[in-house]
Amino acid sequence: MKLKTSQEIELMREGGHILAEILDTLVASVKVGLPTQELDTMARELILAHGAEPSFLNYNGFPAALCVSINEEVVHGLPSERKIKDGDLVKLDLGVHYKGFHTDSARSVIIGQGDAKLQKLVTVTAEALNIGIQTAQPGKTIGDVGYAIHEYVKSQKLDVVRDLIGHGIGTEVHEEPEVPNYGKPNQGPVLKPGMVIAIEPMVVTGGYKIANGPDGYSYITADKKPSAHIEHTIAITENGPEILTR
């Protein structure tokens, strides 16, 4: 587990601010009829304009900078000529490599009105992330974070994916520790100042089991029901958790 110095966290903070700005622009650009490939093109151009590099491009063979996952796609959706439709739940997941360090963040956006179930799904996912972040205090454990997220989601009659999880992040996109969205109190690695982790609830309206998506990269819910995904990169400091991708 790689603890970061205050100087390294400052670099990640800079990269995180760039990432947040880019995601703001992408979210504002999502509209009915837009091919998801255009969002990837926009993401690449914005990343380069900020003097950064895309973290996901060619990572494990992934041929895009941006993951665009729609409806039953949980994560890792491959941008294509597929056009966004009214009522779609679109998830944008982006990583930025800046001055030697990666940051990672994701948003979930309902296109148009969306139904009440989708609205609840996104609201619960956002609150689950907030609860996870607030739990990530020095001295707490990874198990405490996952437990808090899962208990809240269950209280809302929804569930979390088990086979996809958050992670440590820094000079590598994925570092130790693993950060599941479920767990047991007082178990797992203890959170210490200098740790930087990506907390990313993946919440489902149906069962938590997943399957491989037809594009060869995405994961979908096995029952084809919608899922939401929201993520921030978090630094554990002596004063508590700090969101770096805001």
Mean pLDDT of 78-99: 97
Phi, psi of 48 (to 5 degrees): -65, -35
Mean pLDDT of 92-104: 98
Are 105 and 232 within 8 A, CB to CB?
A: yes
Question: What integer pLDDT is reported at residue 123 of this predicted model?
Answer: 98
Handedness of CA 231, 237, 239, 240 (dihedral sign): positive
Residue labelled with tokens 């703001």: 24
Question: What integer pLDDT is reported at residue 134 of this predicted model?
Answer: 98
Question: For all residues of the chain together, what is the average pLDDT?
Answer: 97
Are 184 and 147 within 8 A, CB to CB?
A: yes
DSSP class of residue 78?
P
Q: Tell me how far CA of residue 246 lies from CA of 42, 79, 155, 234, in angstroms.
A: 20, 24, 27, 10
Question: What integer pLDDT is reported at residue 113 of this predicted model?
Answer: 80
pLDDT above 70 covers what percent of the chain?
A: 100
Measure the CA–CA gap between 70 and 216, rounded to whole angstroms: 15
Contacts of 237 (CB under 8 A, 6+ apart): 9, 138, 193
Res. 69 pLDDT band, cuts 50 70 90: very high
Q: Is the pLDDT of residue 76 over 90?
A: yes
Mean pLDDT of 52-71: 97
Question: What integer pLDDT is reported at residue 114 of this predicted model?
Answer: 80
User: To which CATH superfamily is domain 6-243 assigned?
Assistant: Creatinase/methionine aminopeptidase superfamily (3.90.230.10)
Give tens-digit pLDDT for 190-233: 999 999 999 999 999 999 999 999 999 999 999 999 999 999 99
Q: Is the pLDDT of residue 182 over 90?
A: yes
- Please report, for the chain, the start and end positions of each structural domain, with discontinuous segments joined by +: 6-243
